[in-house]
Amino acid sequence: MTTATFELAEHRVILSNISWQTFERLLADLGEKRCARLAYNDGVLEIITPLGSHENNNRFIESLIGAIADELNLNLKRFGSLTLKREKRQKGAEPDSCYYIQNEPKVRHKQEIDLANDPPPDLVLEIDITSGSMDKLPIYAAIGVPELWRYDGRKLDVFVLSPESTSYQSVDKSPTFPWLSLAAIPRFIRQSLADGETATLRAFRTWVREQQPD
């Protein structure tokens, strides 16, 4: 029997009994020009340092999302690993990538986001290949992110915030692109490793056009 193996994609440290003030100080001390990403959930702090496969998957999926938006003539605003936090809920995270799509007009002119006044991103992407990570779904639910994609190196899972906005539900289709079968995205990721990213993006754009309803 052959067992699939995956190379280490992230270095990960999880610490308990960490105060919100310590989380805030770490964000300030580490600054914006860093590779580590932090997540905080009610006293538990996770520090992630992405490695090659993590970042390659993140960047390529971002290219696919950009291609979808371009083919659909949708304005897309990217905010990368934007720090999202709500002190009252004692939750914060820095996603691999995040995007404004439906709410893009509300933040089009902005380069800084304040969740006290601005809506959260419409879509968050999390790459989670190495086991043992913190469950970030409660964090993003508390922040109010409507849709989350999570790629584990094999499949892409899609989650949408429940109507009562307290938890996520796993769904088969993205509400943002309901006619698009996102189960095909891992296939295009694998294709990019064989054919190259540029050639694969051209093939992906053709596939997106073919999937659009008449």
Percentage of residues in the chain with pLDDT exceeding 90? 78
Residue 65: per-residue pLDDT = 97
CATH architecture of 52-211: Alpha-Beta Complex (3.90)
Summarised one tens digit per residue, pLDDT across range 85-109 is 999 999 999 999 999 999 999 999 9
Summarised one tens digit per residue, pLDDT across range 1-12 is 333 444 556 788
Beta strand 84-86 with 91-93 is antiparallel
d(CA 133, CA 91): 16
Percentage of residues in the chain with pLDDT exceeding 70? 94
**Is 33's pLDDT higher than 70?**
yes
Q: How far is CA 58 from CA 54, 133, 147, 211, in A?
A: 6, 17, 16, 23
d(CA 123, CA 155): 17
Boundaries of every domain in the chain: 52-211
d(CA 125, CA 62): 8
Tokens of residue 167, six digits: 């938890």
**Is 138's pLDDT higher than 60?**
yes
Q: Sheet containing 91-93: which strands, arranged edge to edge?
A: 10-15, 44-50, 37-41, 91-93, 84-86
Q: Which residue has the tokens 């371009």?
A: 70
Residue 53: per-residue pLDDT = 87
Q: Taking the CB of residue 35, how many other CB atoms lie within 10 A of it?
A: 12
